[in-house]
Amino acid sequence: MNGGLLVAGTTSDAGKSVVTAGICRWLVRQGVKVAPFKAQNMSLNSFVTREGAEIGRAQAMQAQACRVEPTALMNPVLLKPGGERSSQVVLLGKPVGEMTARGYHGGRQERLLGTVLDSLAELRGAYDAVICEGAGSPAEINLRRTDIVNMGIARGAGLPVLIVGDIDRGGVFASFFGTVALLAPEDQALVAGFLVNKFRGDVSLLEPGLDMLHGLTGRRTYGVLPFRHGLGIDEEDGLRVSLRGTVRESVVAPPVGEDVLRVAVCAVPLMSNFTDVDALAAEPGVVVRFVDRPEELADADLVIVPGTRGTVRAVEWLRERGLADGIARRVAEGRPVLGVCGGFQLLGEHIEDDVESRAGHVEGLGLLPVRVRFAREKTLTRPVGEALGERVEGYEIHHGVAEVLGGAPFLDGCRVGQTWGTHWHGSLESDGFRRAFLREVAAAAGRRFVPAPDTSFAALREEQLDRLGDLIEQHADTDALWQLIESGAPSGLPFVPPGAPA
């Protein structure tokens, strides 16, 4: 078997990432050696592979669904937004420069198609099947000429295409039909059919519409996946997180101790790797929310300043919002604050940035004895260490180089009282360390909170991935899906007018 499939979507956030992960987990449970692939990812949530390459975190999650180590081949192009109009381009795991959207789509993207197809071919040579994820919608007619992630990669590699639609948003039939009808005949020939995502209710009421859709397009529906809470693991983009009131889903189990622990995460601009707090939300009795007002810090037992692609911009935002003063008051009162990566950098004394913001000398919040200088070379590592008597693993993704001038050592950063700072992402996924850290936080906050003794974040992640595999196995036509992956799009699929504009 040397199969492949492209999972496209009618819109961004239609569920492509989780459907791809679900298909991967279903296949690997059938004994298939499978790998994920996304030609181009735009995301501030990234991960570092063992060889020191930066890729989208969604692809790292999908690799885990496949039970394989993630590599740069699985996401050869990563775009990390630095604002509304520019992004850092990461090619095969290494940054190669900043580009505006116009500059990228004006020619650079098209030139990357060979690299993308070579990466996919190498994966297909090593695995039985490669399940590819598209981006946005394949019917972005203004971008089709330079497309390397949807129909461009499908046509270049001869991949069958499955289009996912989020029925919970409404308009799914129009979205399915319109997506196909705006594709060129050569692209339409690869679109095998549809997958309905996030359906609530009686499927029998949906079936007449699916029959009519088949009559209109000549394409079948490969499954109707029911709505399930808590499946959005390792989302692509922190920019989609609401600035206010967003609560990370926690497990239903009651707290072990008498109190809950409240965690407030400052929703800084260009927030990156906000999945760092997922391990906290997995703890019974820990409530995690994103905040953007100083009064929302008042009842928090722990305040986290997360990573950001714009450290200097985040400093300004914290001051403008009054959050900087609120954090300073907490520090003066000895109440817990944790800064991660960019959040660690801005807690320091000052920042010299001629790389990311090009703002030069900027005063930090002055809450940790740290000075930061931005280097052109990006640090991409997978460190292992010890803190609070526990083994810790993490990963680092940053241009800022921290000079620690005092305090107690903490994960290559430092700690002063109850103010902690580190460049390490993912440290809270280490169960023993997370429990020890929460005990310290609870004691400092005066809460009778007790971490659950047996919470395993890795086991919870595996359970989530198995739930995704179950969705595919139980609610998709797996025989037809297998045939599609193994043999490609059915021949003789009809053309749906009008097709792509000339």
Mind telling me the catalytic residues? Answer: 341, 425
Token representation of residue 259:
């109190």
Phi, psi for residue 132 in degrees, rounded to 5: -100, 145
Write the Ramachandran bin of 357: left for phi over 0, alpha for psi from -120 to 50, otherwise beta. Answer: alpha
DSSP for 303-368, written as a single string: EEE-EES-HHHHHHHHHHHTHHHHHHHHHHTT--EEEETHHHHHTSSEEEESSSS--EEEE----S
Cα separation, 248 vs 278, in Å, equals: 7
Cα separation, 309 vs 464, in Å, equals: 28
Coil vs helix vs strand at 457? helix
Quote the strand ranges of 382-459, DSSP E.
Answer: 384-387, 390-393, 396-404, 408-410, 413-416, 419-422
Rounded (10°) CA dihedral 195, 201, 203, 206: -80
Q: Which residue has the tokens 């107690």?
A: 408
Radius of gyration of the chain (CA): 23
Coil vs helix vs strand at 3? strand
Token representation of residue 99:
């580009």
List CB contacts of 378: < 8 A, sequence separation 6 or more.
54, 94, 95, 397, 398, 399
Quote the DSSP letter at residue 416: E
Coil vs helix vs strand at 300? coil
Quote the DSSP letter at residue 9: E
Coil vs helix vs strand at 126? helix
| Terminal Cα distance for the chain, rounded | 37
Cα separation, 346 vs 307, in Å, equals: 10
Phi, psi for residue 454 in degrees, rounded to 5: -125, 15
DSSP for 178-209, written as a single string: HHHHTS-HHHHTTEEEEEEEEE-S-HHHHHHH
Phi, psi for residue 322 in degrees, rounded to 5: 85, 0
Ordered alpha helix ranges (H), 70-157: 101-103, 109-111, 113-126, 151-157
